[in-house]
């Protein structure tokens, strides 16, 4: 047995078998073989087709056994694999041009994918993604690599990876993943946010985890203490089985608050929102007042091409249906930083978090931006949507984004397509420069929401992905609370809605202070709603004000955290 420490970012326990996940890079190079090797190379290609076909067969029967309709996708992949035109072109390249099999596969599939992606009919264009999938499968088999995929898992597993990209987590099979361990990442990296959203226990920042662990071996993830147990003995397994059961029992106790109204002990109502990153229906919508953050990146990440206006429109309509009349804060595309799109080539940047990210990228790619704005505006005719821009740094950013909205509105107007003319326009406050001039920004917008994940990163100059410097990433620092105090009071004075949608917004400890500073609206992962309602019910407004006035004068994060934890323990002992 061996213990390895990391950062617990999504609470809970998991006991299971390790699944090492390494995403496969399907790079091929233009390469040719010597004459007289034709037979061997063709055999190599045929063998790869056979193996790929077997993999697909296995996947199909697994999905059919689970009554999962996704099996049809893989039936379609088999058809592509055996497509005569594609096969003939690959064979030709190998036999006539002496192209290496992987290069011949790449060249042929790219040729057909480009033709398909240009098709006007979105259904046909979407087939390009299937072509790319089959291409990747064939090339992987030709390179002798085993299949690694998080979207279809045969057994319950604990995923161990260097990092999970948002594109991996977007399609992850949540029913099978018991726990997550990664080598990099911290509290607010996107894999942590997704893990919390899915309620999967996760410990991040475990150095060399993929080298230390082996596929299939037993492991325990203690995502309370931040410890991962490798090959645990029977006594440890027994101990953690009991701890897990106790944890689930306590969780159930707090879950009772899920259906209650979010009110302070003195009766003041706090508006609670949820952060959403998919169009799927969920019970969480029932227990909140609004959607405080719709991370629209999911649409772009689940796809192999830029999602069309119609695809986006339909997806936003699904969220409107889920929310049943509750307002939805739709954040425009936030790509860049750690979030990339495999089909959108972005120039290399030495500091991507300080680069052409989010709104900057959208303003620089008006076509992409306009498609999303049109889809969001069209959806606004069907339900209440508030439009919100990420990574706003200057007043110019706000004005330029507004211009883009006006442009999209004018287009729709000329085409006779309905939209909400009075759609609310807001910003995320996550760059200190805009926080500093929030008295000016407030005049330009209808509302704002604070992205405390990035605001902490940029205020403290600490990369939120870098697990070696997490001690410097201080969301509870005096600097953060002073910045937040200014933002909250400025928006309150102007009578415009202000909320938090970063991770602090779902942290009961932080909210204890923020409510005292005047915050009345916050948004969080749905998994935090119950404990937030519980915490609010334990404190009066006067108590939160007293707590806030003490915290705002403290000098260090440690002092603040110790004080808040003590306050919480005292409150808990009163209610027990």
| CA-based nearest residue to 480, from 461, 520, 452 | 452
Which CB atom, from 117 or from 523, has the smaller least distance to ligand PEP?
Answer: 523
- Residue 480 CB, nearest distance to ligand PEP (Å)? 12
Q: What is the smallest separation between the CB atom of 40 and ligand PEP, expressed in angstroms?
A: 50
Q: Is 13 left (phi over 0), alpha (psi -120 to 50) or beta?
A: beta
Report residue 24: phi and psi, to 5°: -95, 130
CB 519 within 8 A of CB 500: yes
DSSP secondary structure of 450-479: E-HHHHHHHHTT--TT-GGGGGG--TTSHH
Q: Among ligand PEP, Mg ion, none, what binds residue 452 when CB lies within 5 to 8 Å by partner kind?
A: ligand PEP
Beta strands in 393-528 (DSSP E): 424-429, 447-450, 498-500, 521-525
Q: Is 534 a catalytic residue?
A: no
CB 37, min distance to ligand PEP, A: 51
Closest to ligand PEP by CB, 311 or 501: 501
Sketch the per residue contact string, 245 through 284, with Mg ion: x for CB under 5 A, - otherwise. Answer: ----------------------------------------
Q: 398 touches which of Mg ion, ligand PEP, none (CB within 5 to 8 A by kind)?
A: none
Instruction: Report the nearest approach of ligand PEP to the CB of residue 218 (Å).
Output: 33
499: partner contacted, choices ligand PEP, Mg ion, none (Cβ within 5-8 A by kind): none
295: partner contacted, choices Mg ion, ligand PEP, none (Cβ within 5-8 A by kind): ligand PEP
DSSP percent split of the chain into helix, strand, coil, nearest 5:
50, 15, 35
Question: For binding to ligand PEP (CB under 6 A), which residues are involved?
Answer: 193, 293, 295, 334, 430, 451-454, 501-502
Locate 287 and state its tokens: 């227990």
- Measured from the CB of residue 267, what is the shortest distance to ligand PEP in angstroms? 29
The partner in contact with residue 463, picked from ligand PEP, Mg ion, none with C-beta cut-offs of 5 to 8 angstroms by kind, is none
Judged by beta carbon, residue 312 or residue 459, the one nearer ligand PEP is 459
Q: How far is the CB of 163 from Mg ion (least distance, A)?
A: 18
CA distance 69 to 377: 32
Please give the angle made by the CA atoms of 263, 269 and 272, to the nearest 5 degrees.
85
Closer to ligand PEP by CB, 160 or 519: give it. Answer: 519
Strand order of the sheet with strand 227-230?
2-5, 227-230, 218-222, 13-21, 157-161, 177-182, 202-204, 7-10
Known catalytic residue at 190? yes
- The tokens for 483 are 């910045």
CB of 181 vs Mg ion, minimal distance in Å: 24
Query: Between 454 and 463, whose beta carbon lies closer to ligand PEP?
Result: 454
* CB 138, CB 160: distance < 8 Å: no
Binding mask 453-482 for Mg ion (x = CB under 5 A): -x----------------------------
CA atoms of 121 and 99, how far apart (whole Å):
33
Nearer to ligand PEP among residue 202 and residue 501 (C-beta):
501
Give the 3-state DSSP-derived string for 53-89, with helices as H, strands as E and coil as C. Answer: HHHHHHHHHHHHHCCCCCHHHHHHHHHHHCCHHHHHH
Quick one: what does residue 464 bind among ligand PEP, Mg ion, none, with the CB cut-off 5 to 8 Å set by partner type?
A: none
- Contacts of residue 422, Cβ cutoff 8 Å, sequence gap at least 6: none
Name which of residues 438 to 457 contact Mg ion (CB under 5 A).
451, 454
- Distance in Å, CB of 522 to Mg ion, minimum: 15
C-alpha to C-alpha distance for 435 and 491, rounded to whole angstroms: 11
Catalytic pick among 77, 288, 501, 534: 501
Which residues fall within 8 angstroms of residue 336, CB to CB, at 6 or more apart?
346, 352, 353, 355, 356, 357, 358, 360, 361
DSSP code at position 526? G
Radius of gyration of the chain (CA): 26
Stretch that binds Mg ion, among 38-46, 108-116, 222-230, 422-430 (CB under 5 A): 422-430
- If the CB atoms of residues 108 and 452 are measured against ligand PEP, the closer one turns out to be 452
Q: Which of 26, 77, 190, 288 is catalytic?
A: 190
Our CB check for ligand PEP shows the closer of 452 and 490 to be 452
505 makes contact with Mg ion (CB under 5 A): no
Query: What is the set of active-site residues?
Result: 190, 501
Residues lying near Mg ion in the complex (CB under 5 A) are found at 430, 451, 454
């Amino acid at each position: 047995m061996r213990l390895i420490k990391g950062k617990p970012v999504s609470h809970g326990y998991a006991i299971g078998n390790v699944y090492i996940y390494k995403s496969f890079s399907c790079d091929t190079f233009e390469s040719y073989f010597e004459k007289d090797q034709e037979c061997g190379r063709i055999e190599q290609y045929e063998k790869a087709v056979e193996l790929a076909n077997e993999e697909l067969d296995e996947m199909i029967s697994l999905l059919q056994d689970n009554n999962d309709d996704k099996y049809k996708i893989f039936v379609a992949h088999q058809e592509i694999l055996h497509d005569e035109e594609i096969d003939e072109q690959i064979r030709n390249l190998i036999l006539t041009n002496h192209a290496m099999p992987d290069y011949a596969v790449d060249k042929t599939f790219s040729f057909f994918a480009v033709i398909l992606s240009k098709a006007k009919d979105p259904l046909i264009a979407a087939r390009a993604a299937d072509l790319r999938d089959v291409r990747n499968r064939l090339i992987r088999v030709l390179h002798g690599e085993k299949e690694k995929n998080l979207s279809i898992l045969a057994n319950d597993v604990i995923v161990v990876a260097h990092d999970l990209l948002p594109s991996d987590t977007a399609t992850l099979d949540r029913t099978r993943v018991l726990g997550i361990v990664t080598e990099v990442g911290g509290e607010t990296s996107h894999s942590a946010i997704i893990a919390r959203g899915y309620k999967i226990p996760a410990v991040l920042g475990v150095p060399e985890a993929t080298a230390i662990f082996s596929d299939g071996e037993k492991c325990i993830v203690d995502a309370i203490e931040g410890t991962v147990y490798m090959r645990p003995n029977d006594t440890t397994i027994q101990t953690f089985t009991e701890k897990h059961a106790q944890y689930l029992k306590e969780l159930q106790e707090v879950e009772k608050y899920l259906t209650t109204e979010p009110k302070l002990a003195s009766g003041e109502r706090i508006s609670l929102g949820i952060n959403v990153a998919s169009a799927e229906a969920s019970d969480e919508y029932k227990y909140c007042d609004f959607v405080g953050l719709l991370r629209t990146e999911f649409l772009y990440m689940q796809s192999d091409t830029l999602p069309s206006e119609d695809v986006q429109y339909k997806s936003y309509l699904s969220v409107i249906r889920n929310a049943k009349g509750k307002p939805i804060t739709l954040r425009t595309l936030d790509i860049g930083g750690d979030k990339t799109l495999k089909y959108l080539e972005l120039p290399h940047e030495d500091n991507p978090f300080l680069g052409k990210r989010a709104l900057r990228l959208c303003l620089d790619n008006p076509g992409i931006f306009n498609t999303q704005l049109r889809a969001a505006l069209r959806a606004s005719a069907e339900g209440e949507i508030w439009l919100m821009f990420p990574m706003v740094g200057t007043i110019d950013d706000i004005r330029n984004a507004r211009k883009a909205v006006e442009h999209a509105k004018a287009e729709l107007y000329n085409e006779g397509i309905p939209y909400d003319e009075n759609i609310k326009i807001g910003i995320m406050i996550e760059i200190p420069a805009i926080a500093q001039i929030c008295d000016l920004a407030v005049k330009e917008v209808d509302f704002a929401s604070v992205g405390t994940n990035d605001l902490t990163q940029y205020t403290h100059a600490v990369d939120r992905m870098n697990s070696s410097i997490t001690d410097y990433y201080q969301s509870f620092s005096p600097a953060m609370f002073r910045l937040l105090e200014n933002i909250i009071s400025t928006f309150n004075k102007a009578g415009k809605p202000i909320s938090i949608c970063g991770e602090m917004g779902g942290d009961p400890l932080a909210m204890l202070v923020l409510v005292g500073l005047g915050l009345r609206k916050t948004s969080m992962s749905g998994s935090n709603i119950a404990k937030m309602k519980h915490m609010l019910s334990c404190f009066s407004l006067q108590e939160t004000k007293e707590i806030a006035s003490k915290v705002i004068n403290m000098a260090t994060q440690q002092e603040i955290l110790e004080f808040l934890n003590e306050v919480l323990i005292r409150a808990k002992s009163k209610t027990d």
